[in-house]
Chains A and B, each alone.
Chain A
Amino acid sequence: MFLSLPLLCAYSVFLLSFWRARDDLHLSLPWDVAMIGGFGAFFFLLTLFTFTGRPLPFPFFDGKFFLSLHRWLTALFLGFLAFHIGAIVVTDPQILYDFWPSGTPGMQFGALAAFLAMLTPGLAFRRVWRRLFATAGIFRISHVILASAVLGGSVFHIVTTRVHVVLSWQVWACVSVAAVALVLPATERWLLARVTVRPGWRRRIHTRHLAGMLAGVIFCAATIETAAFLLWRR
């Protein structure tokens, strides 16, 4: 549970940074709810680049914990994404016009990113990737390419739709956060190769259930925090 606090702190900073501008929009509550669902999805997408499934030195748990956490965070990301899309389509069905070829590139890139976001975990099922990819290494490279496309499409969507991320510093912050997320997995590997483990220390085993609990706590706390934040900002 020690991970839930830094994650929720990061979520708070994330919301405060990207939800500041354009209070004069006077968007209806369903619109704001749908938008903040999208922000939540983007946050959990970023956490997927932090917890890639590869064991980290902190917490000193076995690999199953990190793999399970990655899966749970994927579920949260897809849940928030489905909520974001569903809520906005129900609120404003006219938004579907944007998915026609003559619609805005920002919306179309968002739709493509959402499609790839659903495809990527589908290809990551063990039975599927073993049939499609010769080795685990090739699967991982393909997974990284797809995930990067999802992140790139999402950032383009957020920046070009110009709903809440409109100020130049917000745009640069959003792009910078995405750029850091892209290089984070490689940086983690580089750091891990240089971390010295104290002799005698062993990774704690049988911790897979803790990942589920952590995801549950983060989900509940993030939902409550989002609702409170939305009421405060309105």
Chain B
Amino acid sequence: MAAVRIRRALPLFLTAAGIVLLFGAAVLGHRMTVARGQDIPLVFHHRAHGGFNCVTCHHDFLKPVVTPAVHRTCIACHKATPAVASVIHDQFHAFCVGCHLNQQEQNRRAGPVHECRACHVREAGSPGHGHLH
């Protein structure tokens, strides 16, 4: 009798447990790897953003730092900060996309909003791969 009950309940348990495991593994994997996951190749045109105030992006512009600026990247610092590491993807996208949308709403020229390949490209000889300079 017990064997029959187990035979009946096992598929249901496996189905529910499998779904929980799948989605749980995705969330756990994301949390574990987000701070050290591989960067997507990215080219950021610094000159194209020259018309904006530096502190718009460089929020720590006036803070004294030991490391020379050329070795510091936005993503590297955000990854090393636990408080923002888990939202790095959403935060950077929201920051870029939000600004581009604002520009579009004011009928100004603006950068890409949602298409991956507009920013995430690997140009030969570009130093911007995986880094926001």
A→B interface (CB under 8 Å): 24-28, 31, 92, 94-95, 97, 100-105, 108-109, 112, 115-116, 132-135, 138-139, 141-142, 145-146, 149, 153, 163
Contact = CB atoms under 8 A, between A and B. Distances in A.
Given A108-B30, A146-B15, 19 more contacts: A25-B113, A27-B114, A31-B114, A94-B40, A94-B120, A100-B37, A101-B33, A102-B37, A103-B37, A104-B30, A104-B90, A112-B26, A116-B19, A138-B12, A141-B12, A142-B11, A142-B12, A145-B16, A153-B23
Contacts of B19: 116, 145-146, 149
Contacts of A149: 19, 23
B105 A92 contact: no
Contacts of A103: 30, 37, 89
Nearest to B93: A104
A135 B46 CA distance: 64
Contacts of A163: 114
Contact of B89 (A104, A134, A138): A104
A101 B40 contact: no
The interface size bin for chain B is: 20 to 34
A100 to B, nearest CB: 6
Contacts of A115: 22
B37 A101 contact: yes
A92 B115 contact: yes
Interface string B18-41: 010011001101101110111011
B42 to A, nearest CB: 10
The prevalent SS among residues of A at the interface is: helix
Contact of A101 (B29, B41, B101, B116): B29
B129 to A, nearest CB: 13
B36 to A, nearest CB: 8
Contacts of A104: 30, 89-90
Contacts of B104: 24, 26
Nearest to A133: B11
A52 to B, nearest CB: 17
A94 B116 contact: yes
B23 A109 contact: yes
A25 B111 CA distance: 11
B15 A142 contact: yes
B111 to A, nearest CB: 11
Contacts of B89: 102-104
B47 interface: no
Given A24-B101, A97-B40, A142-B15, A135 B8 contact: yes
Interface in B82-126: 89-90, 101, 104-105, 113-117, 120
A185 to B, nearest CB: 17
B18 to A, nearest CB: 9
Contacts of A31: 114-115
Given A101-B29, A112-B22, A94 B114 contact: no
Contacts of A102: 30, 33-34, 36-38, 89
B63 interface: no
Contacts of B114: 25, 27, 31, 163
Contacts of A133: 11
B58 interface: no
